C-alpha cells in the first residue's frame, strides 16, 4: 500500500519502529495530519501510518510544516506516553536542529534569527 503524495517527493521512510514508537523521515510536501485548509482526501502521514499499521492508533508528538522535510515522532497506542513526550517538546527538553537552503550570501557560520 502506498499513500499518494501531491508532489514528486518520495514516500516517508521509517527510521525507527518498536512497540511504542514510529519515527519517520517526512518528505517535504506532505501534511502530518488532516487539516481544514486542505481537501478531505489530501494525503498525510497519519493516513500513511494507518495504511501500514492498521491495528494501531497514532499520536502526533510534534509537527513539521507541510513544506518542511525531517524527522517526526509518533507514539503507538499509548495516549499517556504521547502526552508525556509531547510535554518534553513543550518544555524544550528536546534538542532540535534545523538546516535550510537560503538565497544569497551569508557568513560561513552563525545564527539567522528571522522568521
pLDDT 10s digits, 86-109: 999 999 999 888 887 778 888 888
Q: How would you label 5-15 residue by residue, b for 16+ Cβ within 10 Å and e otherwise?
A: beeeeebbeee
pLDDT of residue 18: 96
Cβ atoms of 69 and 25 within 8 Å: the answer is: yes
Which residues does the chain have with pLDDT short of 70? 1-10, 115
Does domain 1-115 sit in CATH 3.30.2350.10?
yes
Catalytic residues: 65
To which residue does cell 518544555 refer? 91
Distances (CA, A) of 22 to 16, 92, 113: 6, 21, 31
> Domain segments of the chain: what residues?
1-115
| Residue 6: per-residue pLDDT | 45
Amino acid at each position: 500500500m502506498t499513500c499518494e503524495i501531491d508532489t514528486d517527493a518520495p514516500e516517508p521512510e521509517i527510521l525507527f519502529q518498536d512497540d511504542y514508537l514510529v519515527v519517520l523521515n517526512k518528505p517535504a510536501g506532505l501534511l502530518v495530519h488532516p487539516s481544514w485548509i486542505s481537501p478531505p482526501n489530501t494525503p498525510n502521514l497519519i493516513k500513511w501510518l494507518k495504511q501500514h499499521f492498521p491495528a494501531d492508533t497514532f499520536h502526533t508528538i510534534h509537527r513539521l510544516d507541510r513544506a518542511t522535510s525531517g524527522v517526526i515522532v509518533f507514539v503507538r497506542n499509548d495516549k499517556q506516553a504521547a502526552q508525556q513526550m509531547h510535554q518534553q517538546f513543550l518544555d524544550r527538553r528536546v534538542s532540535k536542529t534545523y538546516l535550510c537552503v537560503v538565497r544569497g550570501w551569508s557568513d560561513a557560520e552563525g545564527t539567522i534569527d528571522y522568521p
